[in-house]
Amino acid sequence: MNFDFTEKQQRIADQAKQIAQKLDLEDVVQRDLAGTFSKPLFRQLINQGVGKWLLPKSMKGDDLNALELTAGIESLAEHCEDSGLIFALSAHLCACIHPIRAFASSEQQAQWLPKITNEAWIGTHAITEPQAGSDIYAMTTNAQKSEDGFVLNGHKDYITNAPVADFIVVHLRTEDRGNYFDYSTFILHSHEYGVSLAKAPHSKSGLRTTAMGDIHFNDCQVPEDALIGRLGAGAPIFQVSMEWERVCLFALYLGQMKRQLQKTAHYVSERQQFDAPLSSYQAVQHQLCDMYFNYETGRLLLYKAAWSLDKGDMSGVASSLAKISISNAAISNGQTAVQLHGAQGVISGDIERMLRDAMPSAIFSGTSNVLKNNISTALIKRLKAQWI
C-alpha cells in the first residue's frame, strides 16, 4: 500500500494551488454577507486550467479520475478562502461535466463540452423537488414523449447554481411503472424552451457565495437529443453523479479543514492569556489534536472512497462512510475553531464562515441519516455473505 500522491495527482494539486493563489478574494467577506456568487472568479478558475480537468484526452483535456479530482479540489479549497465558490465549481464538475463525459453520446460531447469549457458555462444539476428530497424517487417533474422530442413540466428546488446557470443536467420522471427505470436524464440550455430559473438566489446560512434556487418547467418542448443515455437510464446516471459528489466534492471540506487547522494552530500559539500562549494549556492541545484527528480520519476515508470509485465500486458504502465522516468533522472542527479563537472567532471572516459553510454538508448529496440507512442495509448483506 502506498499513500503518496502519484506524479499526476501531485501535478494537479500543485496546479490547483497556483490557480487558487491567483484569485482576488479581497471582497469575500462582503460577498458572503451579501450572498453573492462571483461569475468572474468562476470563469477565472475554468480558464486557468480547471475547465480541462474532466475533458477527455481526445479534446486535449486532463481526463482526471476520481482520485486526481479529489486531490485537485482539496488543494483548491485549502488555498481559496471562498468555499462557496469552490462548492459551485465542484458541483458543476462532479454532477454536470462528469455525467456528460461518462454517459453522453460522442455527438453530444462534441456539441457541449468544448463550448462549456471555452465559454466557461456554468452547469446546474437538478434532482430535488419540494416534495421529493431524501425520497428522490418520488419525483413528479416529468418529460412526456412528443412528436419532436419531449415536453417537460414540474418544479425543482434547492438547486446549486440554478440562478446563474447556462445549462442544466436534470433528472425527470419519464414513466410511472413504480420501478428503477422510470427516470431519465436530460441536458438543456437554461435560457431556451421556456425554462424558468430563479432570478434571486435563496438566502441561506452557509455557502452564501454559491447561488441556489429553483427551476420551473412549464410545457417546455425540448428536442430528442436533449436525452442523455437511454430513455429510462436516469437512475444509474443519478447514482454515479452522487458518488462523484460524495467523494470528490467533499474534498472541498478537507481543504477547508486543513486551512482551518493551520490558522487555529497559529492563533493558539500566538495568543497569550495568563502570561502564556493558549497552546501551552492541555485542554487547548487536546482540542487541536481532536481537530487533526477528525481531519486525518476523514481524509483516509475520502481517499479510500476515491480509490474504490476508480475501481468501479458503485455500492455507495465507501463514499457514504467518507461523506458522513467528513461532514461531521467539518462541522465539529468549525465549532472548535470558533471556540479557540474566542471573540475573534465570531467576527465576520474565514473562521466563522467555515463553520457556516460546513453546516449544510450533512444535508446535500444525501443526508447523514439516509446514508446510514443505506450503509446498514449493505452491511447486513455483507455480513451474511461473510464479505467483511
| Binding interface with ligand FAD (CB under 6 A) | 91, 125-128, 133-134, 158-160, 207, 212, 360, 363-364, 367, 369-370, 373
To ligand FAD, the closest distance from the beta carbon of 370 in angstroms equals 5
Closer to ligand FAD at the Cβ: 71 or 330? Answer: 330
Shortest Cβ distance from residue 359 to ligand FAD (Å)? 9
Shortest distance, CB of residue 69 to ligand FAD, whole angstroms? 17
Residue 259, C-beta contacts closer than 8 angstroms, at least 6 positions apart: 77, 78, 79, 81, 350, 354
138 is written with which cell numbers? 418520488
CB neighbour burial string for 93-125, b if at least 16 within 10 angstroms, e if fewer? bbbbbbbbbebbeeebbeebbeebbeebbbbbb
Question: DSSP letters along 110-140, please?
Answer: HHHHHHHHHTTPPEEEE--BTTBSSSGGG--
> Which CB, 284 or 371, lies closer to ligand FAD?
371
What cell does 2 get? 502506498
8 A C-beta contact, residue 257 and residue 295: yes
**Contact indicator for 75, 17 with CB cutoff of 8 Å:** yes
H/E/C letters for each residue in 236-290?
HHHHHHHHHHHHHHCHHHHHHHHHHHHHHHHHHHHCEECCEEHHHCHHHHHHHHH
Instruction: Report in angstroms how near the CB of residue 239 gets to ligand FAD at its nearest.
Output: 13
**Residue 297: how many CB atoms within 10 A of its CB?**
15
Give catalytic status of residue 7 as yes or no: no
- Is the four-CA dihedral 67, 69, 73, 75 of positive or negative sign? positive
CB of 91 to ligand FAD, least distance (A): 5
Which residue of this chain has its Cβ atom nearest to ligand FAD in the complex? Answer: 133
Query: Do residues 197 and 218 lie in contact, with contact meaning Cβ atoms separated by under 8 Å?
Result: no
Q: How far is the CB of 369 from ligand FAD (least distance, A)?
A: 3
160/294 with CB nearer ligand FAD: 160
Among candidate residues 78, 129, 243, 245, the one labeled active-site is 245
> Nearer to ligand FAD by C-beta: 334 or 360?
360
CB 73 within 8 A of CB 251: yes
Q: How many alpha carbons fall within 13 Å on the CB side of residue 240?
A: 17
**Which residue, 291 or 362, is less far from ligand FAD as judged by CB?**
362
Which is nearer to ligand FAD, 238 or 267 (by Cβ)?
Answer: 238
Active centre residues (catalytic)? 245
